[in-house]
Amino acid sequence: MGVTERLTRATTGLPAPLAVVDLDVFDANAASLLRRAGGTPVRVAAKSVRVRSLVERALDAGFAGVMAYSLEEALWLVGTGVRDVLVGYPTVDAGALDRLAGDRVARREITLMVDDVAQLALVRSALAGHAAPGEEAALPEVAVCLDVDSSLRVGVGPLRLHLGTRRSPLRSPEQVAALAAEVDRADGLRLRGLMFYEAQVAGLPDTPAVRVVKALSVPDVDRRRRGILAAVRAAVGHEVELVNAGGTGSLETSAAGSGVTEVTSGSGLFVPGTFDGMRTVTQRPSAFFGLDVVRNPGPGWATAFGGGYVASGPAGASRLPRLVTPGWSLTRQEAAGEVQTPLRLRGGRPLHVGDRVWFRHAKAGELMERFAAVHLVRGDEVVGTVPTYRGEGRTFG
């Protein structure tokens, strides 16, 4: 029985659009990601899951800690019992910072991301409102991680190319060491670590050009990381405990990098469409969404209800859902629609009103922003239904 037939049988009687996760594949993916990291701890990227019970499932499988994408999310997760939450991006949310500053457990369990003195000033301002002078020691210090630019720059002068994300302004050892020293001498704060996310290695499909970029990037990041860690050690007088690197597409090289104490993965649990061309990702898709055919506008055509779940990033076909039902395709004129998605027959069996068709989202956790619940499948049975972040009344941007 193929995956589409199995998912259709499992969800018979459930209304579509609907989201499902195959638990057998999810669990196998979790184990595979841990093996790929070769013993280096793997932190689960919650933004790529956005289902609290599945984040906890990954932790139970052996993942170590969570990477949140907003401070609000981190506060919520810690409030539900999750521990060791690294916020992967800086925040300027004064209200969330104030709640962090006044919460003893949150201060102990959350690590903030910073790459600018302006962000640091907001954190210090929030802390100042929760401790009288001389009383800072009564509360746990707030841990801080510095985000270091890990893009590849090649060329000279005006011909220099920036290959990778435009992420952090911190690049040179001197820049990182200066901000590290600023954190180290601030009351109520402690420098916990550094993050080096090499997006041009971890998140791009392996085209010939990208393979060249990856081959150049891995030794470049490793060399620069060694220099930055040495500069920080000299500036603050001690080693940092956390050095985070990589993502699903770079677990092997990132885990083997100099000084790396942990890597991060989340998308590898679901394996969305943007990972299809990535040779290092050997995991299988576990997350799908199903739509029902509601009309047949002509021979060789079928129209499904819903489906316009387009991923973030540069506009183009790579951001569209991938049709899993064989022998059918999206159309160039309408692609995935807000209310309906027309499909064109390309050699498969005909689809009729009431038939169910299956897709994969182009990105991982973004799918779950469209649904309040996700159905958990084993074989051809639904064995549970759990809320997404949205289903728990939580959205974080």
Domain that holds residue 222: 22-269
Who contacts 223 (Cβ-Cβ below 8 Å, separation ≥6)?
none
Q: Are 57 and 166 contained in the same domain?
A: yes
pLDDT band of residue 168 (cuts 50, 70, 90) is: confident
Q: What's the rounded Cα separation, in Å, for the pair 104 and 107?
A: 5
pLDDT band at 197 (very low <50, low <70, confident <90, very high): confident
* Helices and strands (H and E) in the chain: how many: 12, 19
Could you tell me if residue 357 is inside a domain? yes
| Pairwise CA distance, residues 50 & 55, whole Å | 8
Q: Buried b vs exposed e over 47-80: b needs ≥16 C-beta within 10 Å?
A: bbbbbbebbbbbbebebbbbbbbbbbbbbbbbee
CA 193/CA 145 separation, integer angstroms = 5
pLDDT tens, 86-96?
999 999 999 99
Average pLDDT (261-274) is: 96
Are 159 and 191 part of one and the same domain? Answer: yes
pLDDT at 159: 62
- The answer to whether residue 207 scores a pLDDT higher than 80 is no
pLDDT band at 61 (very low <50, low <70, confident <90, very high): very high
Where residue 375 sits, what CATH number does that domain have? 2.40.37.20
Closest by Cα among 128, 72, 68 to 102? 128
Give the phi and the psi of residue 220 in degrees, each rounded to 5. Answer: -65, -45
- pLDDT reported for residue 237: 96
Assess if residue 7 is contained within a domain: no
The pLDDT tens digits for 18-44 are 999 999 999 999 999 999 999 999 999
The amino acid at 64: A
Record the tokens describing residue 151, joined without a space: 């893009």
How many domains are there within the chain?
2
